[in-house]
Amino acid sequence: MSGAHSGASGPSRDAIVATAQEAIARGSRSFAAASRLFDRANRERAWLLYAWCRACDDIADGQDHGHGMTGVTDGPARLAEISAKTEAALGGAEIGDPAFDALRLFAAEVKLPPALPRDLIAGFALDAEDWRPQTEQDLYLYCYHVAGVVGCMMALAMGVSRDDDATLDRACDLGLAFQLANIARDVGEDARAGRCYLPQDWLDEAGIPADDLLAVQYRDALGRLGARLAERAAAYEASARFGTPALAFRSAWAVLAAADIYGAIARQVAALGPRAWDKRVSTSGAAKIGMMARAWGQARERHALYPEQPRDPALWTRPRAALR
């Protein structure tokens, strides 16, 4: 697999993987750290998938590797670019853009159902329309489109069958947990860019105007909503852990480490309350090492720690049509 050429004149697979590795190193220290726990094949596929997701996000939001959101005025044109390059990559064409060529490789190696990357693009379409969630259920659907579906794609890369709804639901849960943590951490950055992912009914209940979230008089109430997001993230993280017995040891280790690392972000937001957005919440390198060590033990004992049991029916469930 390694070293195979992507086409007669294009860069080698190794070159595309190297660029993808650089993208994850620049875009997410948390994902980069957890990805190293995979075996080589899954590690490289995680990098390939991340590179495409990161590029789509950057194009949609006017960012550089997830940093410095500028707010955009040409959202539909950006979405059209993402969609056209993605469809070409799914069709096996060389794009000449390393991130979209990464998707081409990933899709071919995983036999990726095209509906899944299209579901991700549907999430970017919501952002292009300046969409905001009205209800908690709206929030979960958005989280599915921008993160839960990524969990499903990565599960397929790790060998989960597209017919294994139970495990794919747990993989989606992990994506939801990650995105809820991201939303909680980024409330301030999003607000400054004119975005709000807190459900309107939560804001109404708290008496917070969506367009003035960060005003000092609303900080205590906003802190309570950050804690509420963290609580929801924790529920989906806990559910996701019960999917790990279906995975090989190295994959389970990486998944459990990522769950803990991202879970720590949400827990910090909850603990900081009104001060959660004074500076960007992050997890130290030493803390990540400790979490990876703990995850190793959890992965070894995953069958005992996370025995087969029904998923909590109160949790929101992903759309099933995408894999049919």
User: Could you give the domains of the chain?
Assistant: 1-110 (no CATH), 132-324 (1.10.600.10)
For residue 89, the model assigns a pLDDT of: 97
Q: pTM, whole model, 2 decimals? A: 0.90
The span from the CA of 291 to the CA of 295, in Å, is: 6
- Helix axis angle, 249-272 to 165-185, nearest 10°: 30
Contacts of 58 (CB under 8 A, 6+ apart): 64, 65, 66
Among 269, 240, 266, 270, CA closest to 254: 240
CA–chain centroid gap for 216, Å, is 30
The span from the CA of 34 to the CA of 52, in Å, is: 18
For residue 136, the model assigns a pLDDT of: 98
Phi then psi for 297, rounded to 5 degrees? -65, -40
Contacts of 80 (CB under 8 A, 6+ apart): none
Residues of the chain scoring pLDDT < 70 = 1-9, 62-73, 321-324
The span from the CA of 100 to the CA of 37, in Å, is: 24
For residue 64, the model assigns a pLDDT of: 56
**SS3 per-residue string spanning 269-281:** HHHHHHHCCCCCC
CA–chain centroid gap for 194, Å, is 21
